[in-house]
Amino acid sequence: GQQLNQSPQSMFIQEGEDVSMNCTSSSIFNTWLWYKQEPGEGPVLLIALYKAGELTSNGRLTAQFGITRKDSFLNISASIPSDVGIYFCAGQYSGGSNYKLTFGKGTLLTVNP
Amino acid sequence: DTEVTQTPKHLVMGMTNKKSLKCEQHMGHRAMYWYKQKAKKPPELMFVYSYEKLSINESVPSRFSPECPNSSLLNLHLHALQPEDSALYLCASSQTGLRPEAFFGQGTRLTVV
């Protein structure tokens, strides 16, 4: 089956620093999604990417859909304490009625004020 | 409105109990999902409903029984659960077709005693 490798597993940074995390896949995806999850809450969609090479921003967040369709990265600029949480990438290969998302294992981000 | 509402937020049940989790969305999405999530792990897909019909069952034990009464509602009926079934249960919904990004509810924290 499809597997996603997400790295790093965890990051501990100082407030104001930039953050970068990425996901790579053994197979291609049509869609890449990035979610953030805080303790006791459901994942919240941050950015959705639909085309190879696409670069999309959402405030201080920027994500790109790799041109090989097998990878994606998420950057967070000028981190703040409320950025703390687990960030998950998810990929989907849309075929027929296949709505399955494949999730990475997550990146735990800690921001030191 | 990008809200998926789940009730209850917390549930404690005995191994002989029968309970139900409920999920509601009013975004007009025609795909709805149940995921199970253990601590610090990514969500694991359990069931997918597409146009109110079960389209994916990820080999989930029969003690979990999903139901989709209409396009806005999704239930998960629980019976004779085991302590290892304790987890965060997440409901999600998405459009079908070219915009597959899933929107998650806050989840139900289930504890089986």
* Rounded Cα–Cα distance for residues A92 and A45 (Å): 14
What type of residue is A23?
C
The reported pLDDT for the residue numbered B67 is 98
Q: Report which of B45, B53, B5, B46 is spatially closest to residue B25, judged by C-alpha positions.
A: B5
The pLDDT tens digits for B36-88 are 999 989 999 999 999 999 999 999 999 999 999 999 999 999 999 999 999 99
Chain A stretch 14-73, residues whose beta carbon is closer than 8 A to a beta carbon of chain B: 31, 33, 35, 40-45, 48, 50
Residue-wise pLDDT tens digits, B10-27? 999 999 999 999 999 999
Beta bridge partners of A64: A55, A73
Rounded to 5°, the CA angle A76-A81-A86 comes to 60
Please give the Cα distance from B29 to B72 (Å, whole number).
8
Nearest to A43 among B31, B40, B104 (CB): B104
Q: Is the pLDDT of residue A11 over 60?
A: yes
Q: What confidence tens digit (pLDDT) does each residue in A27-42 have?
A: 899 999 999 999 989 9
d(C-alpha B42, C-alpha B23), whole Å: 20
> Looking at the complex, does the CB of residue B26 fall below 8 Å from at least one CB of chain A?
no
Contact, A92 vs A69, CB < 8 A?
A: no
